[in-house]
Amino acid sequence: MENHFEHLYEVLSKVDGYIYPNEIELHWSILIVLYPYITGLVAGAFILASLERVFNVKVLKPTYHLSLIAALAFLLTATLPLIFHLTQPQRFFEIMITPNPTSAMAIFGFVYMWYLMVVLLLEIWFDYRKDFVLWARESKGIKKWIYTILTLGVTDISPKALKWDEKIGYFVTVIGIPSAFLLHGYVGFIFGSIKANPWWSSVMMPVIFLFSAMVSGIALVLFLYMIVSFIRKIPSDMKCLDTIGQYLFYILILDFTLEALDQIHRFYEAEESFATLQMLMSGKLYITLFIIQILIGTVIPLIALGLFQFYKPAEKIRRITYFIISIVVLVGIFFMRWNVVIGGQLFSKSFYGFTNFKLILAGQEGLFVSLMLLALPFAIFAFLLWLLPPWKKHDIIEVSDD
């Protein structure tokens, strides 16, 4: 508690203007930045996978399973930042037991479970069911056990049964797309519905969150695909990269337009909070908003990707550029979440002053925990790739016992 007070006294000494005394403690810290960031990556990666399946975009085939597995890896981590930031983490189950129907956050538990159990796990299960059965036969030791459990005891891989898998998998993908929209639009609603906070309160918030989620998810798949190809020492498919780059370009334009629209609207209406928000943007958020989010995370990738639509330089250059773009876009979207979550708490609801955010290193809400939580999905991703390697899947045509 002493450390906590010391931290608060230090923040108090850096307050500008007047803020309510209870506002000195900034309540939603870096963990709540991570939460929409990770959830957005899930939704975005899933939507990219669904595009391939539902709209039959063949050229994206190499990334289909990677996207699904990445979505699962990140989804499994998505609740952790939320639970870690609770002051009473051992009570987290209450959100499922007595969810308050009027609370946006309460419904998250169910949206999350729906998305995890009914969409993602089912889609992956139907997609890998045949392989589970075959892998269970081929493997030895612990792997054999895992695959056998994963088959849930169903070993029927007759063409008829596989046809069912395909059909239901397709159906799940179709309901998965609105579910992914719901999942992340909904995370935007958690912020957009807070009327007390003019920086958050906007009907555009869910839409902006959704599109930025797609941007970040596409960038993540681009990044992971190139990394995985590099580790497997196989060249990544250039056509696939170009197509992902093209999608990223379009969605990035949409995302940028929507965010600009939101800000223009705010500027034009110029409500009572306007002066404060203007000071916030030109002051404490200047670097993370204008330099990192807009310039590095949006404008530069847009210029590079836009250029590639007209003029295609050598493959090697394109490859390197795509790799760099995927990273800067991922960083840009992280800071977009940062600007929303932290930015929305830097000004006082009295509109008379600003507080400061000082990132602590150790502790429950510190930088180390956050880095760990950010690294965790990559570890899970690697584990899932080991367990469910897409490149070892048995092609449907190979099996024709019947």
Partner 1 sequence: MIPPQITRLSIVFAIIIGVFLVLRLILTPVSFGEKGHYRALALIDNMDHEMHYMGNESCQNCHELETEMHASDLHSDLPCEGCHGPAYLHNSKPDSFHLVKPEGRQFCAKCHEQNAARPGDLINQKIIAEHNPEYQCIECHNPHKPWE
Partner 2 sequence: MGVKKTKTDRREFLEKLAIIAGGVIAVSIVKPFGSILFAAVKRPETGPWYGMGINISKCIGCGNCVKACKSENDIPNEPFFFRTWVEQYTIKNDETVVVESPNGGMDGFSQSVPDEEIFRSFFVPKLCNQCAHSPCVQVCPVGATFESPEGVVLVDSKYCLGCRYCIQACPYGTRFINPVTNVVDKCTLCYHRIMNGQSTACALVCPTGARIFGDINDEEGELHAFLKENITHVLKAHLNTGSKVYYKDLSPNVH
Scanning 15-23, 124-132, 152-160, 216-224 for contacts with partner 2 by CB under 8 A, the matching segment is 15-23
**Residue 12 contacts partner 2 per CB under 8 A:** yes
**Residue 117 contacts partner 1 per CB under 8 A:** yes
Report, in Å, the least distance between residue 29 CB and partner 2: 10
Decide which of partner 1, partner 2, none touches 369; Cβ closer than 5 to 8 Å per partner kind.
none
Name which position in 105, 121, 258, 331 contacts partner 2 (CB under 8 A). 105
Strands in 190-341 per DSSP E: none
Q: Angle, nearest 10°, between helix axes 238-269 and 204-231?
A: 160
- The number of residues that bind partner 1 (CB under 8 A) is 21
Contacts of 19 (CB under 8 A, 6+ apart): 348, 350, 352, 353, 354, 355
User: CB–CB of 162/131 below 8 Å?
Assistant: no
- Sort strands 16-17 and 353-354 into parallel, antiparallel or unpaired: antiparallel
Scanning 41-49, 83-91, 149-157, 163-171 for contacts with partner 2 by CB under 8 A, the matching segment is 83-91
Quick one: tokens of 192? Answer: 């957009």
**Residue 24 contacts partner 2 per CB under 8 A:** yes
**Residue 401 contacts partner 1 per CB under 8 A:** no
Name which position in 3, 100, 278, 282 contacts partner 1 (CB under 8 A). 100
Decide which of partner 2, partner 1, none touches 153; Cβ closer than 5 to 8 Å per partner kind.
partner 1
User: CB–CB of 228/326 below 8 Å?
Assistant: no
Quickly list DSSP for 263-291: HHHHHHH--TTHHHHHHHHHTTTIIIIII
**Residue 5 contacts partner 2 per CB under 8 A:** yes
CB-CB neighbours of 257 under 10 Å: 11
| Cβ-based burial of 375 (10 A; exposed 0-12, middle 13-18, buried ≥19) | exposed
Binding site for partner 1 (CB under 8 A): 93-94, 96-98, 100-101, 117, 122, 125-126, 129, 152-154, 156, 160-161, 164-165, 168
Binding site for partner 2 (CB under 8 A): 1, 4-5, 8, 12, 17-25, 27-28, 82, 85-88, 91-92, 94-95, 97-100, 102-106, 108-109, 190, 193-197, 272, 344-345, 348-353
